[in-house]
Amino acid sequence: KPIGVCPVTEGAARAFVEENIHSPKLLDHLDREAQLYRAIVFAPYLYGPTLHGVERARGRAFLQPMLHDETYAYLPQVEAIFHSAKRVLFNSEGEAVLAARLYGPSMWRKGVITGEGVEVPEVALPSADRRVEGVAQGSYALYLGRRDRTKNTDFLIRAFELYRASHPEADLQLVLAGPGDRPARDARRPWLVDLGLVSEAEKSWLLANCRVLVQPSRNESYSRTVMEAWFHAKPVIVHGDCLATSLAVDAAGGGWTAATEAEWADLFHAVEPGSSGELEARGRRGRAYAREHADWDKALDRYEQALELRSPAARAGQVVHPRLRVRAIHQLLPNLVHGDAISNQATFIREALRDLGYHSEILVQHVDDAMSELGRPFEPGALAPGDGVLYHHSIGTALTAHAMRHAGPKALIYHNITPASFFEPWDPAFARLLEAGRRDLQRLAPAFPISCGDSAYNAAELQQAGFRDPGVLPIFVDPLRWAQPADPAWMKALQDGRTNLLFVGRVAPNKCQDHLLEAFKEYLSFDPEARLILVGSWKDGDSYAIHLRELAQRLGVTAHVVLARSCTDAQLLACYRTAHLLWSMSEHEGFCVPLIESMWFDVPVLAYSSSAVPETLGAAGLLFTEKRWPELAALAHLLVEDRALRAKVIAAQRTRRLDFLPEASLPAFFEMIRAITG
């Protein structure tokens, strides 16, 4: 099913919500009393009290969805409650991955994996010699749970039948314990034992004496039976398509995953008697995992923390904002532009300063209409002598002189300036502004004893220009920025079965979109239906943008290239969520925010190793150092198609992206504020 696209008509979706199970008195109570509660937990996601109640308890609503990959989860009304909830409490990592896939990366930010607890009673059959009738002790694979289509038990039986047909000498049994519509055993399957419902004592004996527990379901948010097996130190086999169980097995090393009937049959052969050492090792690893993730005391600790129920003393480890003497700290920057990384950083800094108790404004030469509520035009006299100033330097601007003359406490934040040589053939006037901005660096150094760059690469340029001990304050990349639905029309259009290769960044010669077009021409030899999406703004009549259009025509790729000049946040969100690869040829970056943004969407990054790009990527993504179009096209295609390579790259990116969350850099930010205010 395509994500972000309603699978039914608008009327049908509305009818599902309106005609769902309801509790009018409960909703009335929420309308009257919600503000009296510290936290209100809604579970599961599927029913009327949750669908109608989360918005009523906004700011106090904690959603425990118990999410499954099913049609209901794709309804826009369901997505809305995930975005409205204050936090989302997930039972497993796999459930969180599914939520991020369906609703975007803000789920990683507001989601908490609380898990559940599993009780494992010490229950024995009345006699030590007693066995469950028909079951060969130690020589069976065990399935516990309902036996129906949604649990994929027919698949399990077929896979076991394939195994027994391939190995007629085997004596491993398949034991089913749980309710079902009809008995599964028949004369053609003597190896199948269908016990139906069993007692707790029988279940405990079955777990203690099985060879392996099997869980074939493809759709779970959590599996109690897997955890119960692990508490008994038994390994498990789970379906590779089920995120909740397969990710748990991979993390624990407590069993195996398989997707096809043939793969399951091979695993049944692997767990036949005679392989006890490996089974025991996997069972022990599973037990260690269950003791951490399925213990009620530890789960309740996670709930208390997620629901913010700890006392202030218990939260003493949190960052304490410094007490500072200056009453106002303002920011100066040339432009406040929608979607611009520097503008987003300035907006976040303003909110952080206000949270610290400062009066704080963003003062600019030009502000977009879309950003007019966030900044105001700079005027002489806007700064009082004792005000603090953070000056963002990224180009030659008249604000530079005002920043230098300001006598109050101040610091410079350097976002790098593109070398003018990139623009001289295309926009000489803009090149002169860039050159002026670089010349200003040396004049600014004596006026700003406190400075930082948003990368070590930028800080090194400051030091070269004469700044004393510049620090590093990375750009914050917070996935909560994406806490909204993607544009449904774009989501539908971009999920038409074609491969989407994406680049995000203003149309500019240093970004080298022309090189992307050249390499993309070669890529089409591997994937003739692929699409290249270039998201980025340009001015009317921009000569480099005109060059790109003409080049696309000459190369014969115009029909495959989308030039998205101006995107809403919802449209950009759709581009990220449907991309298969972020491909960058840029030859000059002071940071490159889209590299980190892509990581939050689990989009693998393939980038040219230039300027600050290697520093920003760290150990994540893939870098290349030479621009040979056929080889790069082959590498890009490999990163799109090779599942193992993609998984390895995405795993590294999930680690790297955490380094640019606000809390990772706030200590450096606070230190800078302390320094300028004395």
Q: What is the pLDDT of residues 474-528, one digit of tens each?
A: 999 999 999 999 999 999 999 999 999 999 999 999 999 999 999 999 999 999 9
Q: Tell me if 450 sits within 8 A of 641, measured CB to CB.
A: no
User: If pLDDT is split at 50, 70 and 90, which confidence band does 126 have?
Assistant: very low
Q: Encode pLDDT of 627-674 as tens digits.
A: 999 999 999 999 999 999 999 999 999 999 999 999 998 899 999 999
Q: What is the pLDDT of residue 314?
A: 39
Token pair for 141: 């694979």
Q: What is the total residue count of the chain?
A: 678
Token pair for 203: 């279940």
Q: What is the pLDDT of residue 4?
A: 93
Residue indicated by tokens 């510290």: 38
Cα–Cα dist 303/306, whole Å: 5
Does 124 have pLDDT greater than 60?
no
Q: Which of 211-220, 352-361, 516-525, 609-618 has the least mean pLDDT?
A: 352-361
Q: What is the pLDDT of residue 373?
A: 82
308 against 618, higher pLDDT? 618
**Mean pLDDT, range 594-617, rounded to an integer:** 98
Q: Tell me if 241 sits within 8 A of 264, measured CB to CB.
A: no
324 against 602, higher pLDDT? 602
Does 324 have pLDDT greater than 60?
no
Q: For residue 367, which phi and psi values (nearest 5 degrees)?
A: -130, 130
Does 184 have pLDDT greater than 70?
no
Token pair for 386: 């004792």
97: enclosing H helix or E strand: helix 93-103
Does 128 have pLDDT greater than 70?
no
Which 3 state secondary structure label does DSSP give 254?
Answer: coil
Does 236 have pLDDT greater than 80?
yes
Q: What is the pLDDT of residue 150?
A: 87
Q: What is the pLDDT of residue 185?
A: 67
What is the largest distance, in Å, between two alpha-carbon atoms of the chain? 94
Q: What is the pLDDT of residue 319?
A: 40
Q: What is the 3-state secondary structure (H, E, C) of 61-94?
A: EEECCCCCCCHHHHCHHHHHHHHHCCEEEECCHH
**Mean pLDDT, range 368-389, rounded to an integer:** 87
Q: For residue 15, which phi and psi values (nearest 5 degrees)?
A: -65, -40
Does 130 have pLDDT greater than 90?
no
Q: Encode pLDDT of 137-149 as tens digits.
A: 778 999 999 988 8
Q: What is the pTM of this model?
A: 0.89
Cα–Cα dist 537/358, whole Å: 34
User: If pLDDT is split at 50, 70 and 90, which confidence band does 246 have?
Assistant: very high
Q: Where are the alpha helices (DSSP H) in 122-275?
A: 153-166, 200-209, 224-231, 243-252, 261-270
Cα–Cα dist 337/374, whole Å: 10
User: If pLDDT is split at 50, 70 and 90, which confidence band does 317 have?
Assistant: very low
**Would you call 436 exposed, middle or buried from its count of C-beta atoms within 10 A (0-12, 13-18, 19+)?**
middle
Domains for the chain: give ranges and CATH numbers: 10-113 (no CATH), 140-294 (3.40.50.2000), 329-476+667-674 (3.40.50.2000), 482-659 (3.40.50.2000)
Which 3 state secondary structure label does DSSP give 406?
Answer: coil
Percentage of the chain exceeding pLDDT 90: 81
Q: Among 70, 14, 21, 72, which Cα is nearest to 50's?
A: 21
Q: What is the pLDDT of residue 623?
A: 98
When the pLDDT of each residue in the chain is averaged and rounded to a whole number, the result is 92
Percentage of the chain exceeding pLDDT 70: 95
**Mean pLDDT, range 98-122, rounded to an integer:** 92
